């Protein structure tokens, strides 16, 4: 989990909410691959066909605001997304992503956010706290995970973590 490599799908928007990540009518679906077919349907109909396994999303402030539906990080994960890089995250989305071990919510600063373009290739090194933009040959710092969050990520989710 500490080294990731993939292509960026950038949505230059703040407040991307869980209703667009996975719309309400699909909440009765529990099959993650079925959920993945509808990922980001409220914002980008082509998302699912564009994303390949291992890719990243980049977005602005307060990513994942709205409902507590864990279906949101699950749908993104099963669509292929392994990390979301955002200026900030809504707290439940962040918690669900980490505790459920679905994907990595990575906070980056505005400079990195503005510098990264759609379709850039990134390499993320969690241990070093580094995001390398292979397309632009740049290196950005990611905000380090708080101690407990890091431990839960390393354990593979909250249910595998022993306090």
Partner 1 sequence: MTITEKILARASGRDRVSPGDVVFAKVNKVMLHDVSGPGVMTVFNELEKKGRKIDRLWDPNSVWVAEDHFVPAVDKLAAQNIVLVQNFVKKFGISKHFKYGLGQYGICHTLSHEEALVLPGEVYVGGDSHTNTTGAVGAFATGMGHTDVAYVLLNGKIWFKVPETILFKIEGKISDYIMAKDIILNIIADHGTDVGNYKAMQFTGSAIRRMSMDERFTLTNMTTEAGAKNGIIEPDQTTIDYIKERTNEPFTPLVGDEDAKYADVFTYDVEKMEPVVAKPFSPANRAAVRELGNVPIDKAYIGSCTGAKYTDLLEAAKILKGKKVKVRTEILPAAQSIYMRALKEGLINIFLEAGVVVGPPTCGACCGAHMGVLAKDEVCVSTTNRNFPGRMGHVESKTYLASPKVVAASAVTGKITDPRDVR
Q: Which residues bind partner 1 (CB under 8 A)?
A: 15, 17, 19-20, 23-25, 27-30, 42-43, 61-62, 65-71, 88, 90-92, 95-96, 99-100, 146-148, 157-159, 163
Compute the least distance from the CB of residue 63 to partner 1, in Å: 10
Output the CA–CA distances (angstroms, integers) from residue 24 to 51, 59, 95, 126, in the order listed: 22, 21, 20, 33
Compute the least distance from the CB of residue 44 to partner 1, in Å: 11
Compute the least distance from the CB of residue 105 to partner 1, in Å: 13
Strand partners, 105: 84
Pick the closer one to partner 1 by CB: 27 or 48.
27
Pick the closer one to partner 1 by CB: 16 or 122.
16
Pick the closer one to partner 1 by CB: 5 or 161.
161
Pick the closer one to partner 1 by CB: 17 or 125.
17
Rounded to an integer, what distance in angstroms lies between the CA atom of residue 115 and that of residue 137? 11
Pick the closer one to partner 1 by CB: 136 or 151.
151
Rounded to an integer, what distance in angstroms lies between the CA atom of residue 55 and that of residue 119? 10
Compute the least distance from the CB of residue 83 to partner 1, in Å: 18
Q: Which residue has the tokens 């669509």?
A: 79
Compute the least distance from the CB of residue 52 to partner 1, in Å: 25
| Residue (of 6, 85, 18, 13) closest to 50 by Cα position | 6
Rounded to an integer, what distance in angstroms lies between the CA atom of residue 98 and that of residue 8? 20
Euclidean distance between the first and the last CA atom of the chain, given in angstroms as a whole number: 21
């Amino acid at each position: 989990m500490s080294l990731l490599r993939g292509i960026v799908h950038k949505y230059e928007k703040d407040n991307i909410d869980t209703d667009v990540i996975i719309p309400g009518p699909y909440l009765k679906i529990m099959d993650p691959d079925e959920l993945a077919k509808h990922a980001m349907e409220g914002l980008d109909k082509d998302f699912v066909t564009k994303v390949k396994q291992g890719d990243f999303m980049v977005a602005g402030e307060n990513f994942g605001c709205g409902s507590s539906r864990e279906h949101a990080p699950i749908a993104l994960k099963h669509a292929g997304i392994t990390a979301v890089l955002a200026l900030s995250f809504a707290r439940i989305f962040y918690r669900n992503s980490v505790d459920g071990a679905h994907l990595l919510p990575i906070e980056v600063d505005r400079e990195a956010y503005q510098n990264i373009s759609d379709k850039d290739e990134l390499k993320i090194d969690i241990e070093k706290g580094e995001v390398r933009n292979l397309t632009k040959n740049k290196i950005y710092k990611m905000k380090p995970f708080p101690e407990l969050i890091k431990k839960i990520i390393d354990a593979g989710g909250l249910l595998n973590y022993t306090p």
